[in-house]
A and B are shown apart, each in its own frame.
Chain A
Amino acid sequence: MNLTLKIWRQAGPQAPGEMKTYQVDDVSEDMSFLEMLDVLNEQLNAGGEEPVAFDSDCREGICGNCSLMINGEAHGPEVTTTCQLHMRSFADGDTITIEPWRADAFPVIRDLVTDRSAFDRIIQSGGYISANTGSAPEANSVPVPRDDATKAFNFATCIGCGACVAACPNGSASLFMGAKITQLGLLPQGQPERWSRVVDMVGQHDAEGFGGCTNIGECATACPKEIPLDVISQLNKDLRTAIKHGH
Protein backbone atom coordinates (compact mmCIF):
# COMPACT_ATOMS: atom_id res chain seq x y z
CA MET A 1 0.00 0.00 0.00
CA ASN A 2 1.04 3.59 -0.69
CA LEU A 3 0.54 6.25 1.95
CA THR A 4 0.82 10.00 2.42
CA LEU A 5 2.06 10.95 5.87
CA LYS A 6 1.68 14.34 7.50
CA ILE A 7 4.11 14.42 10.39
CA TRP A 8 4.95 17.01 13.04
CA ARG A 9 8.64 17.97 12.70
CA GLN A 10 10.37 19.94 15.43
CA ALA A 11 14.17 20.16 15.72
CA GLY A 12 14.30 20.71 19.48
CA PRO A 13 12.35 21.72 22.59
CA GLN A 14 12.50 25.44 21.80
CA ALA A 15 12.42 25.20 18.00
CA PRO A 16 9.20 26.06 16.16
CA GLY A 17 7.57 23.00 14.61
CA GLU A 18 5.50 22.36 11.51
CA MET A 19 3.59 19.60 9.74
CA LYS A 20 5.55 18.06 6.83
CA THR A 21 4.23 15.75 4.15
CA TYR A 22 6.00 12.53 3.11
CA GLN A 23 5.18 9.76 0.68
CA VAL A 24 5.83 6.11 1.63
CA ASP A 25 5.29 3.39 -0.98
CA ASP A 26 5.10 -0.41 -0.90
CA VAL A 27 4.07 -0.62 2.74
CA SER A 28 3.01 -4.16 3.74
CA GLU A 29 -0.27 -4.38 5.63
CA ASP A 30 1.43 -6.80 8.03
CA MET A 31 3.85 -4.11 9.18
CA SER A 32 3.29 -2.44 12.52
CA PHE A 33 2.82 1.32 12.49
CA LEU A 34 6.32 1.79 13.88
CA GLU A 35 7.84 -0.50 11.23
CA MET A 36 6.15 1.69 8.63
CA LEU A 37 7.87 4.71 10.23
CA ASP A 38 11.17 2.76 10.18
CA VAL A 39 10.71 2.40 6.41
CA LEU A 40 10.11 6.14 6.12
CA ASN A 41 13.25 6.86 8.16
CA GLU A 42 15.43 4.60 5.98
CA GLN A 43 14.08 6.53 3.01
CA LEU A 44 14.87 9.87 4.70
CA ASN A 45 18.37 8.67 5.68
CA ALA A 46 19.10 7.63 2.11
CA GLY A 47 18.02 11.05 0.92
CA GLY A 48 20.23 12.81 3.47
CA GLU A 49 17.30 14.15 5.51
CA GLU A 50 17.00 13.88 9.30
CA PRO A 51 14.91 10.85 10.30
CA VAL A 52 11.69 11.36 12.27
CA ALA A 53 12.29 10.91 16.00
CA PHE A 54 9.68 8.80 17.82
CA ASP A 55 9.60 6.79 21.04
CA SER A 56 9.58 2.99 21.03
CA ASP A 57 11.02 0.23 23.17
CA CYS A 58 9.48 -3.22 23.65
CA ARG A 59 7.31 -3.11 20.51
CA GLU A 60 5.02 -5.70 22.07
CA GLY A 61 2.53 -3.40 23.77
CA ILE A 62 3.68 -3.67 27.38
CA CYS A 63 6.24 -0.94 28.07
CA GLY A 64 4.24 2.24 27.45
CA ASN A 65 7.04 3.96 25.58
CA CYS A 66 5.40 4.42 22.19
CA SER A 67 2.84 7.17 21.77
CA LEU A 68 1.63 9.12 18.69
CA MET A 69 -1.63 10.87 17.93
CA ILE A 70 -2.68 9.15 14.70
CA ASN A 71 -5.45 10.85 12.70
CA GLY A 72 -6.56 12.61 15.88
CA GLU A 73 -6.72 9.45 18.00
CA ALA A 74 -4.23 8.42 20.68
CA HIS A 75 -2.47 5.21 19.48
CA GLY A 76 -4.64 5.29 16.34
CA PRO A 77 -7.99 3.70 15.51
CA GLU A 78 -7.61 0.38 17.40
CA VAL A 79 -7.66 -0.26 21.16
CA THR A 80 -3.96 -1.02 21.42
CA THR A 81 -0.57 0.66 21.55
CA THR A 82 0.96 2.21 18.42
CA CYS A 83 3.58 -0.58 18.21
CA GLN A 84 0.79 -3.18 18.08
CA LEU A 85 -1.24 -1.21 15.53
CA HIS A 86 -0.91 -2.81 12.10
CA MET A 87 -1.07 -1.17 8.71
CA ARG A 88 -4.05 -3.35 7.79
CA SER A 89 -6.07 -0.87 9.88
CA PHE A 90 -5.46 1.64 7.07
CA ALA A 91 -6.29 1.62 3.37
CA ASP A 92 -4.12 2.08 0.30
CA GLY A 93 -3.91 5.76 -0.63
CA ASP A 94 -4.74 7.01 2.90
CA THR A 95 -3.37 10.25 4.24
CA ILE A 96 -2.31 9.76 7.86
CA THR A 97 -1.72 12.67 10.26
CA ILE A 98 0.84 11.94 12.98
CA GLU A 99 1.34 14.30 15.92
CA PRO A 100 3.03 14.08 19.32
CA TRP A 101 0.99 13.95 22.55
CA ARG A 102 -0.15 17.52 23.13
CA ALA A 103 -0.03 18.61 26.76
CA ASP A 104 2.03 21.35 28.34
CA ALA A 105 2.99 18.86 31.05
CA PHE A 106 4.47 16.66 28.26
CA PRO A 107 6.75 19.11 26.40
CA VAL A 108 8.01 18.05 22.96
CA ILE A 109 11.71 17.14 22.98
CA ARG A 110 11.99 16.49 19.25
CA ASP A 111 9.52 15.63 16.46
CA LEU A 112 7.14 13.07 18.00
CA VAL A 113 9.08 12.51 21.23
CA THR A 114 7.68 14.09 24.40
CA ASP A 115 9.02 14.32 27.94
CA ARG A 116 6.64 12.28 30.09
CA SER A 117 8.68 12.49 33.30
CA ALA A 118 5.72 14.31 34.91
CA PHE A 119 4.18 10.83 35.26
CA ASP A 120 7.31 9.59 37.05
CA ARG A 121 7.05 12.47 39.51
CA ILE A 122 3.36 11.73 40.17
CA ILE A 123 4.26 8.11 40.99
CA GLN A 124 7.25 9.26 43.03
CA SER A 125 5.03 11.53 45.11
CA GLY A 126 2.74 8.73 46.30
CA GLY A 127 2.29 5.82 43.89
CA TYR A 128 4.17 3.36 46.07
CA ILE A 129 3.93 1.38 49.31
CA SER A 130 6.55 1.40 52.04
CA ALA A 131 7.77 -2.03 53.08
CA ASN A 132 10.65 -3.20 55.22
CA THR A 133 13.56 -4.74 53.40
CA GLY A 134 15.09 -8.00 54.53
CA SER A 135 13.70 -11.49 54.28
CA ALA A 136 10.35 -11.78 52.51
CA PRO A 137 7.33 -12.20 54.83
CA GLU A 138 5.29 -15.39 54.75
CA ALA A 139 3.19 -15.11 51.56
CA ASN A 140 -0.13 -16.06 53.16
CA SER A 141 0.19 -13.88 56.26
CA VAL A 142 -1.81 -11.06 54.61
CA PRO A 143 -4.84 -12.57 52.88
CA VAL A 144 -6.28 -10.70 49.87
CA PRO A 145 -9.77 -11.62 48.60
CA ARG A 146 -9.57 -13.10 45.12
CA ASP A 147 -11.86 -10.48 43.50
CA ASP A 148 -9.84 -7.64 44.98
CA ALA A 149 -6.61 -9.20 43.76
CA THR A 150 -8.03 -9.57 40.25
CA LYS A 151 -9.33 -6.01 40.15
CA ALA A 152 -6.09 -4.60 41.54
CA PHE A 153 -4.20 -6.53 38.89
CA ASN A 154 -6.42 -5.16 36.12
CA PHE A 155 -5.82 -1.58 37.24
CA ALA A 156 -2.10 -2.30 37.57
CA THR A 157 -1.97 -2.99 33.82
CA CYS A 158 -1.64 0.77 33.21
CA ILE A 159 1.60 1.17 31.27
CA GLY A 160 1.84 4.94 31.80
CA CYS A 161 1.89 5.75 28.08
CA GLY A 162 -0.03 9.01 28.52
CA ALA A 163 -2.78 8.30 25.96
CA CYS A 164 -5.37 9.39 28.55
CA VAL A 165 -3.76 12.82 28.83
CA ALA A 166 -3.33 13.09 25.06
CA ALA A 167 -7.00 12.27 24.44
CA CYS A 168 -8.44 14.40 27.26
CA PRO A 169 -9.82 17.79 26.10
CA ASN A 170 -8.64 19.20 29.46
CA GLY A 171 -5.22 17.54 29.41
CA SER A 172 -6.01 15.76 32.68
CA ALA A 173 -4.11 12.75 34.02
CA SER A 174 -6.98 11.55 36.22
CA LEU A 175 -7.24 8.09 34.61
CA PHE A 176 -3.51 7.50 35.14
CA MET A 177 -3.70 8.59 38.80
CA GLY A 178 -6.98 6.76 39.36
CA ALA A 179 -5.53 3.47 38.13
CA LYS A 180 -2.70 3.60 40.69
CA ILE A 181 -4.92 4.92 43.53
CA THR A 182 -7.52 2.20 42.93
CA GLN A 183 -4.96 -0.58 42.55
CA LEU A 184 -3.17 0.22 45.82
CA GLY A 185 -6.43 1.08 47.59
CA LEU A 186 -7.76 -2.43 46.97
CA LEU A 187 -4.81 -4.11 48.66
CA PRO A 188 -3.98 -4.29 52.40
CA GLN A 189 -0.41 -3.17 51.67
CA GLY A 190 -1.78 0.10 50.25
CA GLN A 191 -3.75 1.10 53.35
CA PRO A 192 -1.16 2.75 55.67
CA GLU A 193 -0.35 5.54 53.16
CA ARG A 194 -3.76 5.66 51.51
CA TRP A 195 -4.87 9.20 52.41
CA SER A 196 -1.52 10.96 52.07
CA ARG A 197 -0.98 9.12 48.78
CA VAL A 198 -4.02 10.57 47.03
CA VAL A 199 -3.40 14.11 48.27
CA ASP A 200 0.30 14.05 47.31
CA MET A 201 -0.34 12.53 43.87
CA VAL A 202 -3.12 15.00 43.05
CA GLY A 203 -0.97 17.86 44.37
CA GLN A 204 1.88 16.80 42.07
CA HIS A 205 -0.56 16.35 39.15
CA ASP A 206 -1.86 19.90 39.61
CA ALA A 207 1.64 21.37 39.97
CA GLU A 208 2.74 19.68 36.73
CA GLY A 209 0.07 21.67 34.87
CA PHE A 210 -2.38 18.91 33.99
CA GLY A 211 -6.02 19.99 33.71
CA GLY A 212 -9.04 19.00 35.80
CA CYS A 213 -11.32 16.09 34.89
CA THR A 214 -14.76 16.81 33.39
CA ASN A 215 -15.88 13.16 33.29
CA ILE A 216 -16.14 13.18 29.52
CA GLY A 217 -14.59 9.75 29.06
CA GLU A 218 -12.18 10.31 26.14
CA CYS A 219 -9.40 8.82 28.32
CA ALA A 220 -11.07 5.45 28.84
CA THR A 221 -11.84 5.24 25.10
CA ALA A 222 -8.20 5.92 24.23
CA CYS A 223 -6.60 3.69 26.90
CA PRO A 224 -4.79 0.76 25.24
CA LYS A 225 -5.21 -1.23 28.46
CA GLU A 226 -8.95 -0.48 28.74
CA ILE A 227 -8.76 1.07 32.23
CA PRO A 228 -12.39 2.08 32.96
CA LEU A 229 -13.73 5.39 34.33
CA ASP A 230 -14.42 3.57 37.63
CA VAL A 231 -10.92 4.47 38.76
CA ILE A 232 -11.62 8.22 38.49
CA SER A 233 -14.67 7.79 40.72
CA GLN A 234 -12.43 5.97 43.24
CA LEU A 235 -9.80 8.70 42.94
CA ASN A 236 -12.41 11.37 43.72
CA LYS A 237 -13.80 9.33 46.60
CA ASP A 238 -10.34 8.81 48.10
CA LEU A 239 -9.54 12.52 47.86
CA ARG A 240 -12.87 13.40 49.49
CA THR A 241 -12.18 10.89 52.28
CA ALA A 242 -8.61 12.21 52.67
CA ILE A 243 -9.98 15.74 53.23
CA LYS A 244 -12.28 14.30 55.88
CA HIS A 245 -9.23 12.72 57.54
CA GLY A 246 -7.57 16.14 57.63
CA HIS A 247 -5.11 15.81 54.72
Chain B
Amino acid sequence: MAVTRPTLVKGSQGTRSTIALKITMAASGTIFIGFVLLHMYGNLKAFGGQDSFNEYAEHLRELGEPMLPHAGALWVIRLVLIVSLVVHVWAAATLWKRAKSARSTQYVGRKRHTALSSNTMRWGGITILVFLVWHLLNFTIGKINPSTGDTGDAAGDPYSLMVDTFDLWWMTLIYLVAMVALGLHLHHGTWSALQTLGFTGTAKSRTRAKAAGWVVAIVVAGGFSLVPLATLVGIIE
Protein backbone atom coordinates (compact mmCIF):
# COMPACT_ATOMS: atom_id res chain seq x y z
CA MET B 1 0.00 0.00 0.00
CA ALA B 2 1.50 3.30 -1.10
CA VAL B 3 -0.32 5.37 1.49
CA THR B 4 1.98 6.34 4.34
CA ARG B 5 0.31 6.14 7.72
CA PRO B 6 1.41 8.33 10.61
CA THR B 7 3.58 6.70 13.20
CA LEU B 8 3.71 7.53 16.90
CA VAL B 9 4.11 11.25 17.45
CA LYS B 10 6.94 12.45 19.69
CA GLY B 11 7.03 15.68 21.70
CA SER B 12 3.34 16.62 21.58
CA GLN B 13 2.51 19.96 23.17
CA GLY B 14 -0.80 20.76 24.82
CA THR B 15 -0.73 24.34 23.57
CA ARG B 16 -0.49 23.19 19.94
CA SER B 17 -3.51 20.87 20.07
CA THR B 18 -7.01 21.20 18.63
CA ILE B 19 -8.31 21.38 22.21
CA ALA B 20 -6.09 24.43 22.87
CA LEU B 21 -7.73 26.06 19.84
CA LYS B 22 -11.14 25.22 21.29
CA ILE B 23 -10.12 26.70 24.65
CA THR B 24 -9.13 30.00 22.98
CA MET B 25 -12.52 30.01 21.23
CA ALA B 26 -14.28 29.40 24.54
CA ALA B 27 -12.29 32.12 26.31
CA SER B 28 -12.83 34.75 23.58
CA GLY B 29 -16.49 33.70 23.32
CA THR B 30 -16.90 34.26 27.06
CA ILE B 31 -15.55 37.81 26.64
CA PHE B 32 -18.17 38.38 23.93
CA ILE B 33 -20.96 37.11 26.18
CA GLY B 34 -19.90 39.66 28.81
CA PHE B 35 -19.74 42.37 26.14
CA VAL B 36 -23.17 41.73 24.60
CA LEU B 37 -24.76 41.68 28.06
CA LEU B 38 -23.29 45.12 28.85
CA HIS B 39 -24.07 46.44 25.36
CA MET B 40 -27.67 45.28 25.68
CA TYR B 41 -28.00 46.98 29.05
CA GLY B 42 -26.72 50.23 27.53
CA ASN B 43 -29.20 50.01 24.66
CA LEU B 44 -32.11 49.75 27.09
CA LYS B 45 -31.24 53.35 28.13
CA ALA B 46 -33.15 54.29 24.98
CA PHE B 47 -36.35 53.71 26.96
CA GLY B 48 -35.21 56.50 29.33
CA GLY B 49 -35.33 59.05 26.48
CA GLN B 50 -32.88 61.03 24.36
CA ASP B 51 -30.86 62.56 27.24
CA SER B 52 -30.51 59.33 29.17
CA PHE B 53 -29.26 57.47 26.06
CA ASN B 54 -26.87 60.18 24.89
CA GLU B 55 -25.46 60.74 28.38
CA TYR B 56 -24.72 57.03 28.66
CA ALA B 57 -22.91 57.16 25.30
CA GLU B 58 -20.90 60.18 26.43
CA HIS B 59 -20.15 58.65 29.82
CA LEU B 60 -18.60 55.61 28.09
CA ARG B 61 -16.00 58.06 26.77
CA GLU B 62 -15.50 59.72 30.16
CA LEU B 63 -15.08 56.40 31.98
CA GLY B 64 -11.93 56.40 34.08
CA GLU B 65 -11.22 60.14 33.64
CA PRO B 66 -9.13 61.93 34.79
CA MET B 67 -6.82 58.98 35.44
CA LEU B 68 -7.34 57.81 31.85
CA PRO B 69 -7.43 60.10 28.80
CA HIS B 70 -10.77 60.86 27.08
CA ALA B 71 -12.18 57.64 25.58
CA GLY B 72 -9.21 55.76 27.11
CA ALA B 73 -11.24 53.07 28.85
CA LEU B 74 -13.40 52.72 25.75
CA TRP B 75 -10.32 52.05 23.64
CA VAL B 76 -9.03 49.46 26.11
CA ILE B 77 -12.37 47.67 25.80
CA ARG B 78 -12.27 48.00 22.00
CA LEU B 79 -8.75 46.55 21.84
CA VAL B 80 -9.73 43.55 23.98
CA LEU B 81 -12.74 42.99 21.71
CA ILE B 82 -10.71 43.32 18.49
CA VAL B 83 -8.09 40.84 19.72
CA SER B 84 -10.84 38.45 20.89
CA LEU B 85 -12.56 38.70 17.51
CA VAL B 86 -9.38 37.94 15.57
CA VAL B 87 -8.58 34.96 17.82
CA HIS B 88 -12.18 33.66 17.71
CA VAL B 89 -12.46 33.85 13.92
CA TRP B 90 -8.96 32.51 13.30
CA ALA B 91 -9.49 29.49 15.58
CA ALA B 92 -12.92 28.82 14.04
CA ALA B 93 -11.50 28.97 10.49
CA THR B 94 -8.63 26.64 11.41
CA LEU B 95 -10.98 24.09 12.99
CA TRP B 96 -13.47 24.36 10.12
CA LYS B 97 -10.74 23.62 7.60
CA ARG B 98 -9.56 20.72 9.72
CA ALA B 99 -13.06 19.26 10.03
CA LYS B 100 -13.42 19.41 6.24
CA SER B 101 -10.24 17.48 5.61
CA ALA B 102 -11.08 14.97 8.37
CA ARG B 103 -13.87 13.65 6.12
CA SER B 104 -13.10 14.27 2.46
CA THR B 105 -15.64 11.64 1.26
CA GLN B 106 -19.15 12.48 2.43
CA TYR B 107 -21.91 10.02 3.32
CA VAL B 108 -24.60 9.36 0.73
CA GLY B 109 -27.25 9.66 3.41
CA ARG B 110 -26.87 10.94 6.92
CA LYS B 111 -29.30 11.37 9.79
CA ARG B 112 -28.90 14.34 12.09
CA HIS B 113 -29.84 14.15 15.77
CA THR B 114 -28.68 17.61 16.79
CA ALA B 115 -30.17 21.02 17.56
CA LEU B 116 -30.52 23.75 14.92
CA SER B 117 -28.23 26.01 16.93
CA SER B 118 -25.46 23.37 16.92
CA ASN B 119 -25.65 22.91 13.16
CA THR B 120 -25.61 26.63 12.34
CA MET B 121 -22.56 27.74 14.36
CA ARG B 122 -20.26 28.31 11.39
CA TRP B 123 -22.60 29.93 8.87
CA GLY B 124 -24.41 31.72 11.70
CA GLY B 125 -21.06 33.05 12.88
CA ILE B 126 -20.36 34.41 9.40
CA THR B 127 -23.82 36.03 9.37
CA ILE B 128 -23.01 37.78 12.65
CA LEU B 129 -19.63 38.90 11.29
CA VAL B 130 -21.22 40.43 8.16
CA PHE B 131 -23.84 42.11 10.32
CA LEU B 132 -21.11 43.46 12.60
CA VAL B 133 -19.49 45.26 9.65
CA TRP B 134 -22.74 47.04 8.81
CA HIS B 135 -23.52 47.69 12.47
CA LEU B 136 -20.17 49.45 12.97
CA LEU B 137 -20.62 51.47 9.76
CA ASN B 138 -24.11 52.37 10.93
CA PHE B 139 -23.29 53.57 14.44
CA THR B 140 -19.52 53.87 14.98
CA ILE B 141 -17.20 54.07 11.97
CA GLY B 142 -18.62 56.65 9.53
CA LYS B 143 -22.06 56.76 11.17
CA ILE B 144 -24.35 56.19 8.21
CA ASN B 145 -27.91 57.42 8.70
CA PRO B 146 -29.94 55.23 6.33
CA SER B 147 -32.97 57.59 6.55
CA THR B 148 -31.30 60.86 5.54
CA GLY B 149 -28.19 59.51 3.84
CA ASP B 150 -26.03 61.75 6.08
CA THR B 151 -22.77 60.47 7.51
CA GLY B 152 -20.44 61.47 10.35
CA ASP B 153 -21.59 64.24 12.70
CA ALA B 154 -24.38 65.21 10.28
CA ALA B 155 -25.98 61.80 10.93
CA GLY B 156 -27.18 63.17 14.26
CA ASP B 157 -26.60 62.42 17.94
CA PRO B 158 -26.56 58.73 18.97
CA TYR B 159 -30.25 58.76 19.93
CA SER B 160 -31.58 60.38 16.74
CA LEU B 161 -29.36 58.17 14.58
CA MET B 162 -30.81 55.13 16.33
CA VAL B 163 -34.42 56.35 15.95
CA ASP B 164 -33.87 57.26 12.26
CA THR B 165 -32.41 53.81 11.62
CA PHE B 166 -35.13 51.75 13.26
CA ASP B 167 -37.96 53.86 11.84
CA LEU B 168 -37.17 52.07 8.58
CA TRP B 169 -38.95 48.68 8.71
CA TRP B 170 -36.30 46.96 6.60
CA MET B 171 -33.51 48.17 8.89
CA THR B 172 -35.36 46.80 11.90
CA LEU B 173 -35.80 43.54 9.98
CA ILE B 174 -32.04 43.28 9.29
CA TYR B 175 -31.30 43.85 12.97
CA LEU B 176 -33.90 41.29 14.07
CA VAL B 177 -32.52 38.65 11.68
CA ALA B 178 -29.05 39.33 13.11
CA MET B 179 -30.47 38.86 16.62
CA VAL B 180 -31.89 35.46 15.62
CA ALA B 181 -28.42 34.49 14.38
CA LEU B 182 -26.85 35.83 17.59
CA GLY B 183 -29.39 34.00 19.77
CA LEU B 184 -28.72 30.68 18.02
CA HIS B 185 -24.95 31.24 18.24
CA LEU B 186 -25.16 31.99 21.96
CA HIS B 187 -27.48 29.04 22.62
CA HIS B 188 -24.91 26.51 21.44
CA GLY B 189 -21.88 28.71 22.20
CA THR B 190 -22.58 29.16 25.92
CA TRP B 191 -23.00 25.44 26.52
CA SER B 192 -20.07 24.63 24.24
CA ALA B 193 -17.75 27.05 26.05
CA LEU B 194 -18.63 25.50 29.42
CA GLN B 195 -18.01 22.02 28.01
CA THR B 196 -14.70 23.06 26.40
CA LEU B 197 -13.52 24.63 29.65
CA GLY B 198 -14.32 21.34 31.39
CA PHE B 199 -17.14 22.41 33.71
CA THR B 200 -19.70 19.83 32.57
CA GLY B 201 -18.41 16.51 33.86
CA THR B 202 -21.77 15.22 35.10
CA ALA B 203 -25.27 14.83 33.62
CA LYS B 204 -26.55 17.47 36.05
CA SER B 205 -23.94 20.09 35.18
CA ARG B 206 -24.54 19.38 31.49
CA THR B 207 -28.27 20.10 31.90
CA ARG B 208 -27.38 23.32 33.74
CA ALA B 209 -24.93 24.41 31.02
CA LYS B 210 -27.58 23.84 28.35
CA ALA B 211 -30.10 25.82 30.42
CA ALA B 212 -27.52 28.62 30.71
CA GLY B 213 -27.35 28.61 26.90
CA TRP B 214 -31.11 29.21 26.70
CA VAL B 215 -31.00 32.00 29.32
CA VAL B 216 -28.10 33.87 27.66
CA ALA B 217 -29.64 33.49 24.20
CA ILE B 218 -33.09 34.71 25.22
CA VAL B 219 -31.88 37.55 27.46
CA VAL B 220 -29.37 38.91 24.92
CA ALA B 221 -31.31 38.42 21.66
CA GLY B 222 -34.59 39.41 23.32
CA GLY B 223 -33.11 42.42 25.13
CA PHE B 224 -31.44 43.73 21.97
CA SER B 225 -34.64 43.26 19.92
CA LEU B 226 -36.74 45.41 22.30
CA VAL B 227 -35.25 48.74 21.17
CA PRO B 228 -35.67 48.34 17.37
CA LEU B 229 -39.18 46.93 17.84
CA ALA B 230 -40.18 49.72 20.25
CA THR B 231 -38.83 52.31 17.80
CA LEU B 232 -40.68 50.81 14.85
CA VAL B 233 -44.03 50.81 16.66
CA GLY B 234 -43.44 54.33 18.02
CA ILE B 235 -42.86 53.70 21.73
CA ILE B 236 -39.41 55.23 21.28
CA GLU B 237 -39.42 58.32 19.05
| CB atoms of B99 and A102 under 8 A apart | no
Is residue B144 contacting chain A, with contact meaning CB distance below 8 A? no
Q: Which of A86-94, A128-136, A203-211 sits within the interface?
A: A203-211
Is residue B45 contacting chain A, with contact meaning CB distance below 8 A? no
- Considering only residues 86-110 of chain A, those with a C-beta below 8 Å from chain B are 97, 99, 102-105, 107
| CB atoms of B198 and A237 under 8 A apart | yes
Is residue B102 contacting chain A, with contact meaning CB distance below 8 A? yes
* Chain A min CB distance to B199 (Å): 7
* Chain A min CB distance to B237 (Å): 43
CB-CB under 8 A from B109, the residues of chain A are 71-72, 97
Residue of A nearest to B98 (CB): A211
- Considering only residues 1-49 of chain B, those with a C-beta below 8 Å from chain A are 1-3, 5-9, 12-23
| CB atoms of A237 and B17 under 8 A apart | no
Q: Which of B110-118, B170-178, B179-187 sits within the interface?
A: B110-118
- Considering only residues 71-106 of chain B, those with a C-beta below 8 Å from chain A are 95, 98-99, 101-106
From A102, A199, A216, A240, contact of B114 by CB (8 A): A216
Expressed in whole angstroms, the Cα–Cα distance for A72 and B103 within the complex equals 15
Q: Which of B126-134, B151-159, B189-197 sits within the interface?
A: B189-197
| CB atoms of B21 and A212 under 8 A apart | yes
Is residue A192 contacting chain B, with contact meaning CB distance below 8 A? no
A198-236 vs B, Cβ < 8 Å mask (1 yes, 0 no): 111011111111111111111001000000111011111
Q: How many residues does chain A have at the interface if contact means C-beta atoms less than 8 Å apart?
A: 62
CB-CB under 8 A from B22, the residues of chain A are 212-213, 236
Evaluate whether A202 and B14 lie within 8 angstroms (CB atoms) in the complex, with A99-B107, A124-B8 already known: yes
| CB atoms of B102 and A103 under 8 A apart | yes
Residue of B nearest to A202 (CB): B17
Is residue B201 contacting chain A, with contact meaning CB distance below 8 A? yes
| CB atoms of A204 and B121 under 8 A apart | no
Is residue A29 contacting chain B, with contact meaning CB distance below 8 A? no
From A105, A125, A214, A237, contact of B192 by CB (8 A): A214
CB-CB under 8 A from A13, the residues of chain B are 1, 3
Evaluate whether A236 and B102 lie within 8 angstroms (CB atoms) in the complex, with A99-B107, A125-B9 already known: no
| CB atoms of A214 and B104 under 8 A apart | no
Max chain B CB contacts within 10 Å: which of A214, A217, A233, A247? A214
Expressed in whole angstroms, the Cα–Cα distance for A213 and B6 within the complex equals 21
From B20, B107, B195, contact of A69 by CB (8 A): B107
| CB atoms of B13 and A247 under 8 A apart | yes
CB-CB under 8 A from B9, the residues of chain A are 125, 200, 203-204, 207
Residue of A nearest to B112 (CB): A218
Expressed in whole angstroms, the Cα–Cα distance for A200 and B11 within the complex equals 8
Give 6 CB contacts A-B under 8 Å.
A71-B109, A102-B107, A213-B18, A215-B195, A228-B206, A234-B198
**Contacts from A to B (Cβ < 8 Å):** 6, 8, 13-14, 19, 69, 71-73, 97, 99, 102-105, 107, 115, 117-118, 121, 124-125, 169-172, 198-200, 202-218, 221, 228-230, 232-240, 242-243, 247
